[in-house]
Structure 1
Amino acid sequence: MSGDDHPRQRLNNELQKIYGPSAQDHVRWEVYSQGPPNNLIWDATVYIDDMNYGHAASPTRGGAQDEAAGQAYDFLRRERAR
């Protein structure tokens, strides 16, 4: 997967278009794991201006963040298309 195809990179690029250099001031991640150590499930939620834009669960931290970022990116794109 190239950098431009990576969900977190796409989200970051979209946020840069919207907010410019202050984009990171508008984003907050909550990432945590649950379950037994041999069978962890990671939950990731991305908030933009304190609104939930994406949530996902995955056996890997990166997988959960990528899925949540993809949801947020898709939501932002639909929102901007209106």
Structure 2
Amino acid sequence: MSSTHFTMRLNNFLQARYGASFAAHFKYEVTSSGPQNLTVWTGTYFIDDIKYGDGSATNKRDAKEAAAQKTIEMLEAEGNDVPPN
């Protein structure tokens, strides 16, 4: 699976669940740590103010994908059906 599919799958799931107001139900935060030449980015998804997945990588896009993947795994563990793209 391409590295961009997890974010897309998560967005599609959230839109299907919440409809037009989906953006009010989730939040994505990104932080960085480490020296400028070795920055590690950590992204975290929150759904209805509950922390779901987080992921770290050396660039923002990969951190967001890792966080989306973990969020999907948590949603599926809760019994939610997150369809593939």
Shift of 1:74: 2.2
Over aligned residues, Cα RMSD in angstroms? 1.7
Paired residue secondary structure (1:56): strand
- Once superposed, which parts of structure 1, at least 4 consecutive aligned residues long, lie more than 4 Å away? none
Aligned residue identity for 2:19 = G
Unaligned runs of 5+ in 2: none
TM-score, length of structure 2 as denominator length:
0.83
Q: Judging by fraction of residues, say which structure has more helix.
A: 1
Percent identical pairs in the alignment equals 38
Q: Report the AA paired with residue 25 of structure 1.
A: A
TM-score computed with the length of structure 1 as normaliser: 0.86
Deviation, 1:76, is 1.8
Give the aligned partner of residue 64 of structure 1: 63
Segments of 5+ residues of structure 1 without an aligned counterpart are none
Q: Any idea what SS the aligned residue of 1:68 has?
A: helix
Does the 8 Å contact 1:14/1:73 carry over to 2? no
For residues 23-62 of structure 1, the aligned pairs below 5 Å read 23-62=22-61
Rounded Cα–Cα distance in structure 1 between residues aligned with 2:38 and 2:59: 10
Partner amino acid for 1:37?
A: Q
